[in-house]
Chain A
Amino acid sequence: MITELGHYALVLALALTLIQSVAPVWGARINDERLMASASYTSPMIFFLLFLSFSALTTAYVTSDFSLVNVWQNSHSLMPTIYKISGTWGNHEGSMLLWVLILALFAALVALFGGNLPPSLKANVLGVQAWILLSFLLFILLTSNPFERLDQVPFEGRDLNPILQDVGLAIHPPMLYLGYVGFSITFAFAVAALIEGRIDAAWARWVRPWALLAWCFLTAGISMGSYWAYYELGWGGWWFWDPVENSSFMPWLSGTALLHSALVMEKRSALKIWTVLLAILTFSLSLLGTFLVRSGVLTSVHTFASDPERGVFILMILVLFIGGSLALFALRAGRLHAGGIFAPISREGALVFNNLILSTATATVLVGTLYPLVLEAITGNKISVGAPFFNLTFGPMMIPLLIAVPFGPLLAWKRGDLYAASQRLFAVFGASLLVMVIAFAFLSDGFSLAPIGIGIAAWLMMGSMAELYLRSGYPKTGFKVAMNRLSGLPRTVWGTAMAHFGLGMSVLGIVFVTAYETENVSILKVGETTELSGYTLRLDELGPRAGPNYTEDIARVTVLVDGKVVDELVPTKRIYTARQMPTSESAISTFGFSQLYLALGEVKDKDTVVLRIWWKPLITLIWFGTVVMVFGGAFSLSDRRLRVGAPKPSVRRAKAINA
């Protein structure tokens, strides 16, 4: 019964979406206020209906209702409850439902908090949002209905893919979807602006918080996914340039560019056309990612049972939205007037440089991801484009950008003074050089370029703090005045500094772990020990163990430093009973920011095993860095000048900012 209610709610949501995709847009055209306002009521209702529908599916999962095809295929009665819940979106149909739920959530948020939007813009934005929602609801109902029943109810389910039976599944997809579905709002704003043929700095002021919100979630989602892959896949890598990773990374790169260009547009009313284009491209890349993952064009961990019919349907949605929005852009972009002028060396110039590099990087990742597909389609030749290609192209491109980051906030708007900015960064430069020399002296045996990478990371971290330091006026002003000044700075300034600092942390982690990682693969008998980077590992026990829906071989390994026990690790190899699928569960011990990573290799006999051990120095900085970036974004979002629905800033405040 609950299932049928969920199904019915889904169909009702489709009907309401149909209304919302016509009424407000038409209302904006004929200037009918009531029609325009209708979207503000339908949006929250659609969200509510989809929430009901999603809850119904979750209920079916929790109660193991195997009369649903979807539940039968992807669940098992013995699974722990948390995996039953997260299993709702651990499959194609369920995750699509989560996708549209989040799409509807963002529309509802605009409806509720967009009170200060001009009515026609709001109506058009919600109308465009409804078009996207409409096509995906049709996609679900026509090709991927999660509420389909089986005639004969099976006794037991076929289990969730073992790799997905992890707390990561509970966090990673919702975060990721909040991120790239969130960019649908900036897309809707861009298309609405093109429909209206009018765009100004105020538009950027409305768009930027949404872009920032989506960006925060996307950053967290990608980072979480990376950590999950790191501990779950069992070979210690944290980024593989896998096509599916790339599909989430591309919207992130262009979304990051969008954040920066929207800033120029808001403050200086320049880069309007470019910002609109970026908003369109960012969501287009999200759609492309959805297509690549779901159509079976690519194969990866993320591929759900793929089916050509679905692929064609999503391809149609893709062509319709990307083609339509770009055509509209080509038609209308000429009407948007270019705004403020600026010298090449200025804050705007620095942000343009950021955009040039980030969009080239996005395009490089896009070309690298699609090249093998296109080449095979045209010539029939199969080639691979893997990690070595991306490291060789994407890597060097990032270095000038990373070096430029600290300059940006120190340059004035309109016309900056590079010489003065360099002078102010001189101390930071000297300190970074010192770090580099120390790294050369103590870390490298023989020639290595890693110290340069460490120097760049230090430059980024200290340089991003330079603006705060300089604005505090310390030590010329007293400590107290400096503190007062710091706490009086706009939160966006703090947010920028934090995000850039976080980036530096991630870079430091990446450099350290790639350059100084050590490894050891040994065949160990019970009682034997092996050494790695000052840690002694002793295999104490080897044997079988049974879990709720799997059996496993476990190894108990004691970690010693100078003869003292510091940790005990239990890496295992599992076989999931229902699917007879093996997985490897690594064991990790964290020391400061570094980690000792253990994975179990082949079990030779009842007391001999292959043990793979890595020492990964400062690796957790990679993820902590992204956490700091997200906090920076969130902190910036809490600035009252950006707060969604906040009234205009007070005169006093505005003066303080201009000063």
Chain B
Amino acid sequence: MRKFAPFLAGLLIALSVALTPLPALAVNPDEVLDDPVLEARARELSVLLRCLVCQNQSIDDSDADLARDLRILVRERLTAGDDNEQVLDYLVARYGEFVLLRPRVTAQTYLLWGMPIILLVIGGLVLVSSQRRRANAKATSLTSNEKAALSKILSDRE
């Protein structure tokens, strides 16, 4: 089982990445790159980037002019030969961390990313300890008063 744990964790994460909703596109035909591989990468990145003037929309979803500018910018950087990480770095340098819909793991976001695991572990520990407590409580014998009461009830029945 222990061997399986990392495999299982990997599978779960991979599965959820695979199930990340496909972008609903706002991209216009004239923006699309000729190279399908680059275009696919551009779309992949677009989902991760926030349209800064919109309400919680990615640049892939948004019709706003700024979103369009950013989409074109992403494609320019890709065509210039940047890898995905470099494109994100470039945008963060220009617009700040706010532009990333999936925040980076930094000192400021450890708590954010770690929270699900921390909570699961704490929850699990609380459960185990309460289970133990209950098991112990079950083992404790009756007090003398309770014993007396019990024998009284039993004798009354007879």
Contact = CB atoms under 8 A, between A and B. Distances in A.
Interface of A: 235-237, 239-243, 299-301, 338, 341, 344, 352, 356, 359-360, 363-364, 367-368, 371, 375, 379, 381-389, 391-393, 395-397, 399-400, 448-450, 452-453, 510-511, 513-515, 517, 519, 521-523, 601-602, 610, 612, 614
A241 B16 CA distance: 15
Contacts of A359: 119, 123
A515 B18 contact: yes
A521 B29 contact: yes
Contacts of B48: 388
B71 interface: no
Nearest to B61: A235
B135 interface: yes
B15 A453 contact: yes
B112 A371 contact: yes
Contacts of B138: 341
Nearest to B27: A521
Contact of B116 (A300, A301, A364, A614): A364
Contacts of B25: 235, 519, 521, 612
B102 to A, nearest CB: 4
Interface residues of B, number: 55
Given A363-B115, A515-B19, A388 B101 contact: yes
Contacts of B32: 521
Contact of A384 (B12, B19, B98, B123): B98
Given A364-B119, A368-B112, A396 B13 contact: yes
B116 A382 contact: no
A514 B19 contact: yes
6 contacts: A382-B97, A386-B50, A386-B101, A510-B19, A521-B29, A602-B28
A389 B124 CA distance: 23
For the complex of A and B, list the 9 residue pairs with the smallest distance between their C-beta atoms, beginning with the closest: A386-B101, A395-B16, A388-B102, A396-B12, A449-B18, A236-B24, A382-B98, A235-B24, A360-B119
A510 B19 CA distance: 8
Contacts of B134: 338, 341
Given A242-B56, A367-B112, A395 B15 contact: yes
B28 A389 contact: no
Interface string B96-130: 11111111000011011101100110011001001
A379 B98 CA distance: 14
A448 B24 CA distance: 20
B12, B19, B58, B96: which has the most chain A beta carbons within 10 Å?
Answer: B19
Contacts of A396: 9, 12-13, 15-16
Nearest to B32: A521
A384 B99 contact: yes
Contacts of A385: 101, 103, 112
A388 B123 contact: no
A360 B120 contact: yes
B20 interface: yes
B100 A383 contact: yes
A243 B21 contact: no
A387 B101 contact: yes
Interface string B142-153: 000000000000
Nearest to B112: A371
Contacts of B86: none
Contacts of A517: 22
Contacts of B124: 356
Interface string B47-69: 11010000111100100000000
Contacts of A519: 22, 24-25
B120 to A, nearest CB: 5
| Secondary structure class of chain B's binding surface, majority of residues | helix
A393 B17 CA distance: 10
Interface of B: 9, 11-22, 24-30, 32, 47-48, 50, 55-58, 61, 96-103, 108-109, 111-113, 115-116, 119-120, 123-124, 127, 130-131, 134-135, 137-138
B16 A391 contact: yes
Nearest to B102: A388
B96 A382 contact: yes
Nearest to A386: B101
Nearest to A584: B63
Nearest to A611: B29
Nearest to A376: B98
Contacts of A300: 55-56
Contacts of A237: 21, 24, 61
Contact of A387 (B15, B30, B58): B58
A453 B19 contact: yes
Nearest to A355: B123
Contacts of A511: 19
A356 B123 contact: yes
B108 to A, nearest CB: 6
A515 B17 CA distance: 11
Contacts of B13: 392, 396
A384 B29 contact: no
Given A367-B115, A379-B108, A385-B103, A242 B55 contact: yes
Contact of B29 (A341, A388, A393, A610): A610
A364 to B, nearest CB: 5
A395 B102 contact: no
A383 B18 contact: no
A392 B47 CA distance: 13
A296 to B, nearest CB: 13
A78 B49 CA distance: 40
Contacts of A235: 24-26, 61
A452 B21 CA distance: 16
Contact of A392 (B9, B17, B29, B120): B17
B47 A363 contact: no
A610 B19 contact: no
Contacts of B96: 382
A384 B55 contact: no
A601 B115 contact: no
Contacts of B123: 356, 359-360
A395 B98 contact: no
A400 B116 CA distance: 14
A51 B116 CA distance: 44
Contacts of A399: 12, 15-16
Contacts of B100: 383-384
B61 to A, nearest CB: 5
A388 B15 contact: no
A391 B21 contact: yes
Given A359-B123, A396-B16, A453-B15, A375 B101 contact: no
Given A395-B19, A521-B29, A388 B115 contact: no
Contacts of B99: 384
A645 B156 CA distance: 38
Contacts of A514: 19-22
A449 B14 contact: yes
A464 B29 CA distance: 45
A400 B15 CA distance: 12
Contacts of B30: 523
B132 to A, nearest CB: 11
Given A338-B137, A389-B103, A395-B15, 8 more contacts: A341-B134, A382-B96, A388-B20, A389-B101, A392-B102, A515-B18, A519-B25, A521-B32
